[in-house]
Amino acid sequence: MTHCQRAEVLKNIDVRDLFLLNSRTIIVTGATGGLGLQVVKATLEAGADVVAIDQSPSIPEGDDWGATT
How does pLDDT run across 1-55, given as a tens digit for each residue?
A: 888 888 887 788 887 788 899 999 999 999 988 899 999 999 999 999 999 998 8
Going 15 to 18 to 23 to 24, the CA torsion angle's sign is: negative
Residue 15, in any domain of the structure = no
State the DSSP code for 50.
E
Tell me the whole-structure pTM to 2 decimals: 0.61
Residue 42, in any domain of the structure = yes
How many independent structural domains does the chain possess?
1
Nearest residue to 26 via CA among 45, 55, 51: 51
Residue 65, in any domain of the structure = no
**What Å distances lie between residue 37 and 7, 16, 21, 52, CA to CA?**
35, 20, 17, 9
Residue 2, in any domain of the structure = no
Containing domain of residue 43, as a range? 21-56
Residue 11, in any domain of the structure = no
Residue 33, in any domain of the structure = yes
Residue 47, in any domain of the structure = yes
